[in-house]
Amino acid sequence: MKHLLFSLLLLLKLISFAQLEQINLHQNWEFRQVGTEKWYMAQVPGTVHTDLLANTLIEDPFKAGQEEKLKWIEYEDWEYRTSFEVSPDLAQMENIELVCDGLDTYATIYINDQIAGYSSNMFLQQQIPIKALLKSGKNDLQIVFQSPINKKKDEALKSGHQLPAGSEKEEVNVSPYVRKAAYQFGWDFAPRFVGCGIWRPIYIRAWNSVRIADVHVQQKELTKSRAIVNLAIELDGTNPKGTYLLKCDDLEQKVNYKSTSDTLNLTLEINNPELWYPNGYGDQKIYTKTISLYKGKKLIDQKEVRFGLREIELINQKDEFGTSFYFKVNGEDVFCKGANYIPQDVFLPCVKDKQYRKLLIQAKEANMNMIRVWGGGVYEKDLFYDLCDSLGLMVWQDFMFAGTVYPPTYQFRNQVADEVRYNIKRLRNHPSLAIWCGNNEIEVAWHNWGWQKQYNYSQKDSVELWNNYKLIFHEMIPQFIQQLDSQRPYTPTSPLSNWGTAENFKHSSMHYWGVWHGGDPLEAYHDNVGRFMVEYGFQSYASYELLAQYLGDDLTLNAKSVLDRQKSYVGNSMIEQNIQKYYGSIDNFKDWIIANQNVQAYAMKQAIQAHRKSSGYCMGSLLWQLNDCWPGVSWSIIDHSGQPKKAYSEVQKQFSPVIVVVDSLDDEIHFTALSDKSEAFKGELKVSLVDFNSNETLRDFKTSLSLDRHEPKMVLSIKKDKLPKGFTPNSAYLSYQIQTQKSEEVIFSDFFFFCPPKNRPIQFD
């Protein structure tokens, strides 16, 4: 205890500033199942599943068969406790609160056996005043988590109508009622582990008078010569009224704070501003400013803010093709190249900072410039957005709603309001944040998936549920964005257009699942290009080696442990069908996985080439999905261990700034070149027809390139009857590369084959 007290006092000394002090409460936690006697050591931040595993009370949840065996955990209540020391000086401070950045999900918080507060939303920070509950010396903190299943089961049963839940396959689906990460209830890429815990930092914050609670960086003017930035400052305290002095750089301003609804404004002028650009379009300049708050001559608080200067627009309007959907950044049209991001683990605190850095660097190195934070996961931690800022990865930010409609109650909408306001304010200063999106696939599902018939909704039910949907996503959320982040675009849902008809591909955002869910061949990507492709993909298994770590060494495709990893209702049929088509029959499971990953890579090549070849018409290609949340089978191009699959290198190549797409027609071979570079690109395309067996070049072709941004151009056409006599699709292939004009540096190279791998005398994979 002496060591703990010394550590807390040292920490307090290190992080205290003037009258603001903070004590992190991450040490000496214990937990137990409610109703049992024995306590076990707990990790905070953490989850109940990982705490049970650390105490060898359960097996690794990712091992074979454990998903079903561990289901009992979600029906139990769990209790966590620790104690902390409060010095007499701290106890006398005017404002003391317990801050819980994330409690998952239904929790009652006790200080010294008295109820201090409650949590009912995983996505919402709790700021609980606790001064009246504290005493000098030792204080006890206890948090009791209630099973979300038990908490909401009765409400779900009594609602009168079952709500669809893309995340659940249970008799009673509770996830629509629970403000908790939907994927943890199970998804078509994720297992079901409905846990609880203190999943984000927890600490005590204390201060006298007032503190700077929030700073909103508002860009008021941006030209080449200057930027005008307003810093809108909110204060927090029990009695914050009074006159203060604000300082930032050389600027000083006296302000009068009348009430907690006041905002103090400090306007900065930045000469010759440097702009923030997405990856591939320019640099990522980040400005850092420190705001100091004085009462009289006494410095009472400081806060550092980081921001970037850029203008971003969403152009979603009628045009000559239908309805556009694209982004302009700093006046330039941007072709968005990227991927959908899901949480990196089912158990969120297991993801280390270095994993965030590695994954997002991998995204940048794959020539991506946009990441979509998908609405069935979580609003990510600050580090995620800081990294996107520095790497030039624009963020398409879904609010955390996906795959269902929600209870039409005032209580639920009130929770949504608190959640939305909090997360807008937390994230709005990030220059990487490009767009807010209300939800994932709810609107397209309501109109096209037959929920009304499937769940036997009456006309009254349908009207009530749809009106509630419109109230949340077409009224509430956009109103909050207008109030709190008016300079950033919003779209109520993704996609805005369903892939079911040819006409729909002319309009707005699109999730194309004809390949996979619709059973279309991989080449169908070329005939199904929308205006902005937010989702598309093809599944592959993780490597044999990664699966073997959790499932054992003796694996076969039809083993129960392997089949349990497949969460898509399509099963392995589309994978097997395409392996047969391109590689033939494969019995060995290791080889089958390699072929599966090669098929996925080929699918991504077809899709991205189709989208980029239509640049100008199509202005976005976000593949589903970047990463995994467990070792299994999914649409990811990077597996749960952080290891890239074969598709990753293919995506990296096809997202290159300058590429060439080859189309083999009946009589001709066409080469279409395109560029994302800001300046006009000049170079040369070299093409070789190479004999499979001898590796000799049978014929060379070349042409000069002069390309403007986002303007695909057919640069070479080769008539097949001009190819060497005796050429057949399985006798030769094309090797081609792009060189720069000045340095003759090879910046892109690829192959084109006239026949599938099973018909080639030599395998290149």
Task: State the chain's mean pLDDT as an integer.
Answer: 94
Contact between residue 752 and residue 664 where contact means Cβ atoms under 8 Å apart: yes
Tokens of residue 751, six digits: 């192959």
How many CB atoms within 10 Å of residue 326?
20
pLDDT at 16: 41
Q: Map out the domains of the chain as residue ranges.
A: 2-205, 210-307, 336-654, 658-759
pLDDT at 332: 95
Q: What is the pLDDT of residues 206-249, one digit of tens each?
A: 999 889 999 999 999 999 999 999 999 999 887 777 888 999 99
Q: Do domains 2-205 and 210-307 have the same CATH topology?
A: no
Report residue 74 CA to chain centroid gap: 25
CA distance 646 to 638: 9
Would you give the DSSP letter of residue 208?
S
Strand runs (DSSP E) across 34-88, as ranges?
A: 40-42, 78-86
| Lowest pLDDT segment from 89-93, 423-427, 670-674 | 89-93
CA distance 748 to 357: 26
Mean pLDDT of 437-455: 96
User: Residue 2's pLDDT band (boundaries 50, 70, 90)?
Assistant: very low
CA distance 148 to 106: 7
Backbone angles phi, psi at 657, to 5 degrees: -55, -35
What architecture (CATH level 2) is domain 2-205? Answer: Sandwich (2.60)
Which stretches of 406-559 are DSSP H helices?
410-427, 442-448, 451-454, 459-470, 477-484, 544-551
CA distance 576 to 599: 10
Q: What is the pLDDT of residues 41-82, one digit of tens each?
A: 999 999 999 999 999 999 999 999 999 999 999 999 999 999
Would you give the DSSP letter of residue 471?
I
Nearest Cα residue to 28 out of 44, 50, 9: 44
Q: What is the pLDDT of residues 320-376, one digit of tens each?
A: 999 999 999 999 999 999 999 999 999 999 999 999 999 999 999 999 999 999 999
Backbone angles phi, psi at 268, to 5 degrees: -110, 145
Burial-class residue 17 by CB neighbours within 10 Å (0-12, 13-18, 19+): middle
User: Residue 6's pLDDT band (boundaries 50, 70, 90)?
Assistant: very low
Q: What is the pLDDT of residues 677-725, one digit of tens each?
A: 989 999 999 999 999 988 999 999 999 999 999 999 999 999 998 899 8
pLDDT at 253: 87
187-to-181, 511, 516, 568 alpha-carbon distances in Å: 11, 17, 16, 8
Contact between residue 251 and residue 265 where contact means Cβ atoms under 8 Å apart: no
How many CB atoms within 10 Å of residue 315?
13
217 pairs with which residues across the strands?
A: 231
Please state which CATH class domain 336-654 belongs to.
Answer: alpha beta
Q: For domain 210-307, give the fold.
A: Immunoglobulin-like (2.60.40)
Nearest Cα residue to 633 out of 537, 535, 542, 517: 542
User: Residue 256's pLDDT band (boundaries 50, 70, 90)?
Assistant: confident
**How would you classify the pairing of strands 20-24 and 202-207?**
antiparallel
Burial-class residue 406 by CB neighbours within 10 Å (0-12, 13-18, 19+): buried
Would you give the DSSP letter of residue 473?
I
Backbone angles phi, psi at 501, to 5 degrees: -130, 155
Give CA angle at 91 (90, 93), nearest 5°: 65
The amino acid at residue 549 is Q
User: Residue 764's pLDDT band (boundaries 50, 70, 90)?
Assistant: low
Strands of the sheet with 312-315, listed across from one edge: 312-315, 326-329, 332-334
User: Residue 4's pLDDT band (boundaries 50, 70, 90)?
Assistant: very low
User: Residue 554's pLDDT band (boundaries 50, 70, 90)?
Assistant: confident
Burial-class residue 319 by CB neighbours within 10 Å (0-12, 13-18, 19+): exposed
pLDDT at 17: 45
Contact between residue 298 and residue 217 where contact means Cβ atoms under 8 Å apart: no
Contact between residue 526 and residue 611 where contact means Cβ atoms under 8 Å apart: no
pLDDT at 259: 67
CA distance 191 to 189: 7
User: Residue 658's pLDDT band (boundaries 50, 70, 90)?
Assistant: very high
pLDDT at 260: 63
Q: For domain 658-759, give the fold.
A: Immunoglobulin-like (2.60.40)
pLDDT at 10: 35
331-to-327, 502, 630, 692 alpha-carbon distances in Å: 9, 31, 40, 48
Give CA angle at 621 (615, 626), nearest 5°: 155
153-to-157, 172, 187, 409, 424 alpha-carbon distances in Å: 6, 7, 20, 16, 30
> Which residue carries 């507060």 as its tokens?
117
CA distance 175 to 184: 9
| Lowest pLDDT segment from 15-24, 260-269, 661-670 | 15-24
Burial-class residue 595 by CB neighbours within 10 Å (0-12, 13-18, 19+): buried
Burial-class residue 657 by CB neighbours within 10 Å (0-12, 13-18, 19+): middle
Residue 476 pLDDT exceeds 90 = yes
pLDDT at 765: 60
Would you give the DSSP letter of residue 722?
G
Mean pLDDT of 557-580: 96
Nearest Cα residue to 338 out of 541, 533, 618, 538: 533
Mean pLDDT of 158-182: 89
Tokens of residue 670, six digits: 């066409």
Contact between residue 413 and residue 308 where contact means Cβ atoms under 8 Å apart: no
